[in-house]
């Protein structure tokens, strides 16, 4: 008579029950910690057919097939999807086997036995039903073997990556603690044990297989493998349009659990250049969030340049910059600030003559590089555009540096003041020459009815309208993508068009969304000058890859930062245009 | 009677009475504060300084002389724009100095 139970399945069942309970509890925590409005959003999104379909597609593509990693690095993509998709298929086919072949239906099982066996029969099917007789059974058995082989290939790749990461095209890999190392060994041995158990049918291997699964599941909640269940939740939350509002709670908790520690952010981070251990990168930041180590969390949140590159390479799209901003906000929002003097700043009523004139906001950084203001004036004049400069007398800051420092309330006061002045000016179009200002105007100001343009967009527009006559030189110019302009807004082509109409455009080694921060970023609060210099050097080396004659940027802060550290000419795109227009 | 001049109040400071505890705490948080050479570049370029009394150079001097409250009041007007960082010849991380003044001096009970 065929058995339906053996004592070796117990470790697996215990582990499985534990992990299910933990995940339910974690789910409850995430949901309860979210504000009420977010819970509503989630509910609505779950019953909306469009988001429902998108959820299914995203879970399939991101959690199982790892499409994003494939695009970035096919070898890593293979490794992740072989293990994830293979494992998923083994579980699915295991259930199909039990359901379709129904070898145990003749037995009268009690309800509890039946429920318990539902858990372990698909996993240990080959033990209870070793012979595949019918053609269906044979096909299913073949599929099982195929996916097991796929997983084993994936694990082999992972093993090679561990020995020598450059084989898979990665320079630095994440360093793991004890629990993470143990669970990795557990994961890597699960499938070899299964293979051994199925082929030899020796009890010892079935025991090892079950115990190994048990170990894996007991460690899962405390290690990076928590990302397996958590990523699915994160996709649902994100598709519902929820964003993090705290550094560790609610949505942030789901993000923390969802980081698999893949380490793609390590090579990407500009802070890694100077630091062998790369200890400040986002993967370690998130780990410290999970450990809830306040000192380290703060240190890492404050040093980050907020260049956003780690977010743009992250296959899970974890918004680690948002988490850092939330943390900074908690630290600094209550600091006293006295901005009553802002009411001394003003602008004349309707200075832009109901939108007849363009309003130009230079901002603090452009005031430090008056050559950009001069060039913009020349461009306005040559193009026959009427304009006013909003802060010709100095003006005030745009508010983003304060936001970045976490002083959100004070920043709102600055934002309110500028908004009032812009409205008073009667402008319909606002041009800014600094990406830092551009970002805050776009993201935080309520100026929907006013067109806001970065000067690269504006200049590109007037060139294509034929308002400027430019003479092209033979100079080879490399364009540096400013972080605040490229990654958040995708403004990559407009400044390149402008550069191309003044000279010969060459590309840096890493450009567009992979561009390397200049090191001058106001995003970092604590980074010392030496560290910043190291970042600047590496950013310059990246720009010089194709031996350009000069550098062009679209950010006054990048300009200042580069000019200090290089002998070759650094220009803002406005200067290039002003020099070359006749 | 107006003589066309007046006598300034005494700026005499009894350094024996000055507690440097808070300045030392600040120095721990941002060691850069100790290398200021009072050149005044930061003050000359200050965005907030155009409309209010803000001068990083003076804040650092005040702190050294135990005039913590005045320094704190001044720091609370800073816009953290970072212009002073870009012009400082010593490469002092000015925004962190300014933020730390608010942080370390803002909570007396901590010290
Ligand atoms: S933050 Fe993103 S890129 Fe970095 S380790 Fe986690 S998942 Fe990978
Ligand atoms: S935002 Fe930039 S500097 Fe900060 S951790 Fe990410 S990649 Fe590194
Ligand atoms: S200065 Fe330029 S490159 Fe540096 S962080 Fe700002 S925008 Fe990015
Ligand atoms: S950061 Fe503060 S002190 Fe420095 S220039 Fe800006 S407003 Fe002035
Ligand atoms: S610019 Fe730098 S060195 Fe000069 S006074 Fe200001 S902080 Fe001190």
- In tens, the pLDDT along A440-468 reads 999 999 998 999 999 999 999 999 999 99
Q: Determine the Cα–Cα distance for residues A103 and A109; give it in Å rounded to an integer.
A: 13
Query: Is the minimum CB–CB distance between B43 and chain A shorter than 8 Å?
Result: no
Q: Determine the Cα–Cα distance for residues A16 and A82; give it in Å rounded to an integer.
A: 22
Chain A interface residues (partner B, CB cutoff 8 A): 331-332, 335-339, 341-342, 344-345, 364-365, 367-368, 393-397, 401-402, 405, 407, 414, 520, 522, 525-529, 557, 560
In a domain, B7, yes or no: no
In a domain, B11, yes or no: no
pLDDT digits (tens, 9 = 90+) for A376-392: 999 999 999 999 999 88
Q: What is the pLDDT of residue A228?
A: 93
- From residue A294, alpha-carbon distances to A193, B92, B99 in Å are 41, 26, 19
pLDDT of A96 > 60? The answer is yes
pLDDT of B110 > 50? The answer is no
- Residue A89, SS3? helix
Query: Is the minimum CB–CB distance between B99 and chain A shorter than 8 Å?
Result: yes
Provide the pLDDT confidence category of residue A436 given band limits of 50, 70 and 90.
very high
Q: What is the pLDDT of residue A107?
A: 62
Average pLDDT of the residues in A497-523: 96
Q: What is the largest CA-CA distance in chain B?
A: 51
pLDDT digits (tens, 9 = 90+) for A98-147: 888 776 665 666 777 777 788 888 899 888 888 878 888 899 999 999 99
Q: What is the pLDDT of residue A270?
A: 94
- From residue A484, alpha-carbon distances to A56, A301, A340, A442 in Å are 32, 18, 29, 11
In a domain, B5, yes or no: no
Which residue has the least CA distance to atom 6 on ligand 5?
B42
pLDDT of B109 > 80? The answer is no
Q: Determine the Cα–Cα distance for residues A323 and A325; give it in Å rounded to an integer.
A: 5
- From residue A258, alpha-carbon distances to A60, A230, A252 in Å are 16, 5, 10
Provide the pLDDT confidence category of residue A2 given band limits of 50, 70 and 90.
low
Q: What is the pLDDT of residue A106?
A: 58
Q: Determine the Cα–Cα distance for residues A253 and A576; give it in Å rounded to an integer.
A: 47
Q: Which residues contact A283 (CB under 8 A, 6 or more apart)?
A: A174, A259, A261, A262, A263, A265, A266
Q: Determine the Cα–Cα distance for residues A458 and A479; give it in Å rounded to an integer.
A: 17
Around Cβ A201, how many Cβ atoms within 10 Å?
12
Q: Determine the Cα–Cα distance for residues A541 and A526; give it in Å rounded to an integer.
A: 24
Please provide the distance, in angstroms rounded to a whole number, between the alpha carbons at the two ends of chain B.
48
CA A2 to the chain's CA centroid = 52
Q: What is the pLDDT of residue A395?
A: 85
Please say whether the beta carbons of A212 and A195 come within 8 A. no
Average pLDDT of the residues in A425-431: 95
Please say whether the beta carbons of A73 and A81 come within 8 A. no
pLDDT of A235 > 70? The answer is yes
Q: What is the pLDDT of residue A105?
A: 62
Average pLDDT of the residues in A42-49: 95
Range of the domain at B43: 18-110
In a domain, B1, yes or no: no
Tokens representing A184 are 């990795």
Q: Which atom of ligand 5 is nearest to the CA of B94?
A: 7
Which residue has the least CA distance to atom 5 on ligand 4?
B46
Nearest to A307 by CA among A456, A482, A442, A454: A482
Provide the pLDDT confidence category of residue A574 given band limits of 50, 70 and 90.
very high
- Residue A551, SS3? strand
Return the sign of the alpha-carbon dihedral for residues A186, A191, A192, A198. positive
- From residue A510, alpha-carbon distances to A262, A276, A427, A467, B93 in Å are 21, 21, 38, 33, 28
Q: Determine the Cα–Cα distance for residues A148 and A516; give it in Å rounded to an integer.
A: 41
Q: Sort strands A504-506 and A451-454 into parallel, antiparallel or unpaired.
A: unpaired
pLDDT of A206 > 60? The answer is yes
Q: How many domains does chain B have?
A: 1
B96–A526 CB contact, under 8 Å: yes
Q: What order do you get walking across the sheet with A451-454 strand by strand?
A: A387-389, A358-361, A429-432, A451-454
Gyration radius from chain A CA atoms? 29
Nearest to A285 by CA among A275, A295, A273, A274: A295
Average pLDDT of the residues in A292-304: 94
In a domain, B10, yes or no: no
Of the two residues B22 and A318, the one the predictor is more confident about is A318
pLDDT digits (tens, 9 = 90+) for A326-380: 999 999 988 989 999 999 888 888 888 888 899 999 999 999 999 999 999 999 9
Average pLDDT of the residues in A514-519: 96
- From residue A252, alpha-carbon distances to A259, A332, B102 in Å are 11, 19, 28
Q: What is the pLDDT of residue B108?
A: 54
Provide the pLDDT confidence category of residue A424 given band limits of 50, 70 and 90.
very high
Q: Determine the Cα–Cα distance for residues A515 and A539; give it in Å rounded to an integer.
A: 8
- From residue A503, alpha-carbon distances to A329, A372, A454, A476, B65 in Å are 44, 18, 21, 6, 56
Q: Which residues have any ligand 5 atom within 6 Å of their CB?
A: B 36-42, 56-57, 88-90, 92, 94
Please say whether the beta carbons of B75 and B98 come within 8 A. yes
Provide the mean pLDDT of chain A: 92
Which residue has the least CA distance to atom 7 on ligand 5?
B36
Chain A environment of B106 (Cβ under 8 Å): 335-336
pLDDT digits (tens, 9 = 90+) for A553-566: 999 999 999 999 99
Around Cβ A485, how many Cβ atoms within 10 Å?
26
Q: Is the CB of A300 under 6 A from ligand 2?
A: no
A365–B87 CB contact, under 8 Å: no
Please say whether the beta carbons of A455 and A526 come within 8 A. no
Q: What is the pLDDT of residue A104?
A: 62
In a domain, B2, yes or no: no
Q: What is the pLDDT of residue A234?
A: 96
The fraction of chain A above a pLDDT of 90, given in percent, is: 80
In a domain, B3, yes or no: no
A397–B80 CB contact, under 8 Å: yes
Helices (H), A227-348: 227-239, 251-258, 264-268, 282-291, 294-303, 309-313, 320-332
Which residue has the least CA distance to atom 8 on ligand 1?
A262
In a domain, B95, yes or no: yes
The ligand whose atoms approach the alpha carbon of A319 most closely is 1
Global model pTM greater than 0.95? no
Please say whether the beta carbons of A316 and A283 come within 8 A. no
* Structural domains of chain A, ranges and CATH numbers in brackets: 9-226 (no CATH), 231-332 (1.10.1060), 340-461 (3.40.50), 467-580 (3.40.50)
């Amino acid at each position: 008579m065929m058995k339906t139970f053996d004592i070796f399945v117990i470790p697996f069942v215990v582990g499985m029950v534990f992990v299910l309970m933990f995940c339910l509890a974690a789910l409850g925590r995430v949901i309860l910690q979210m504000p009420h409005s977010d819970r509503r959003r989630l509910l609505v999104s779950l019953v909306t057919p469009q988001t429902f379909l998108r959820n299914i597609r995203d879970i399939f593509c991101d959690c199982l097939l790892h499409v994003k990693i494939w695009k970035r690095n096919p070898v890593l993509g293979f490794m992740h999807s072989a293990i994830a998709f293979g494992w998923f298929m083994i579980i699915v086919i295991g259930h199909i086997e039990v359901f379709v072949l129904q070898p145990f239906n003749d037995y009268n099982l009690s309800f509890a036995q039946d429920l318990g066996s539902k858990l372990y029969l698909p996993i240990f099917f080959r033990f209870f039903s070793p012979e595949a007789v019918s053609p269906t059974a044979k096909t299913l058995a073949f599929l099982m073997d195929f996916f097991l082989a796929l997983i084993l290939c994936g694990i082999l790749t992972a093993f090679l990556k561990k020995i020598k990461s450059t084989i898979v095209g990665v320079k630095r890999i994440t360093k793991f603690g004890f629990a993470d190392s143990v669970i990795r060994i557990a994961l890597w041995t699960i499938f070899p044990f299964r293979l051994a158990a199925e082929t030899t049918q020796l009890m010892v291997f079935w025991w090892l297989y079950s115990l190994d699964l048990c170990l894996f599941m007991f460690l899962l909640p405390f290690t990076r493998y928590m990302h397996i269940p958590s990523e699915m939740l994160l996709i649902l939350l994100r598709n519902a349009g929820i964003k993090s509002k705290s550094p560790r709670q609610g949505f942030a908790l789901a993000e923390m659990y969802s980081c698999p520690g893949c380490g793609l952010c390590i090579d990407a981070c500009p802070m890694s250049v100077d630091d062998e251990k790369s200890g400040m990168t986002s993967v370690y930041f998130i780990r410290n969030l999970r450990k809830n180590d306040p000192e380290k969390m703060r240190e890492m949140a404050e040093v980050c340049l907020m260049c956003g590159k780690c977010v743009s390479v992250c296959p899970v799209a974890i918004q680690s910059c948002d988490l850092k901003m939330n943390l900074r906000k908690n630290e600094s929002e209550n600091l006293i600030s006295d901005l009553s003097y802002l009411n001394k700043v003003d602008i004349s009523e309707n200075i832009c003559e109901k939108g007849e004139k363009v309003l130009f906001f230079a901002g603090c950084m452009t005031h430090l590089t008056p050559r950009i203001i001069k060039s913009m004036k020349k461009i306005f004049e040559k193009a026959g555009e009427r304009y006013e400069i909003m802060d010709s007398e100095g003006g005030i800051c745009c508010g983003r540096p304060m936001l970045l420092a976490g002083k959100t309330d004070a920043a709102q006061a600055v934002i309110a003041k500028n908004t009032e002045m812009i409205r008073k000016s009667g402008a319909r179009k606002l041009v800014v020459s600094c990406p830092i200002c551009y970002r805050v105007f776009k993201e935080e100001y309520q100026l929907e009815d006013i067109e806001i343009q970065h000067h690269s967009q504006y200049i590109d527009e007037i060139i294509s309208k034929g308002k400027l006559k430019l003479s092209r030189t033979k100079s080879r110019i490399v364009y540096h993508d400013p972080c605040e302009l490229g990654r958040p807004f995708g403004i990559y082509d407009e400044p390149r068009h402008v550069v191309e109409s003044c000279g010969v455009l060459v590309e840096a080694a890493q450009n567009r969304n992979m561009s390397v921060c200049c090191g001058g970023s106001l995003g970092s609060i604590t980074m010392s000058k030496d560290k910043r210099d190291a970042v600047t050097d590496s950013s310059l080396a990246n720009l010089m890859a194709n031996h350009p004659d000069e550098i062009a940027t679209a950010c006054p802060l990048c300009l200042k930062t580069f000019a200090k550290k290089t002998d070759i000419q650094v220009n803002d795109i406005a200067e290039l245009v002003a020099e070359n227009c006749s | 009677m107006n003589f066309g001049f007046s006598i300034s109040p005494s700026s005499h400071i009894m350094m024996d009475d000055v507690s440097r505890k808070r300045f030392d705490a600040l120095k721990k948080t941002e060691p850069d504060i100790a290398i200021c050479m009072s050149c005044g570049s930061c003050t000359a370029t200050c965005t907030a300084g155009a409309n209010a009394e803000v001068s990083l150079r003076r804040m650092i001097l005040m702190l050294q002389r135990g005039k913590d409250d005045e320094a704190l009041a001044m720091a609370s007007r800073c816009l953290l724009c970072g212009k002073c960082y870009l012009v400082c010849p010593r490469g002092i991380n000015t925004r962190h100095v300014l933020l730390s003044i608010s942080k370390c001096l803002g909570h007396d009970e901590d010290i």
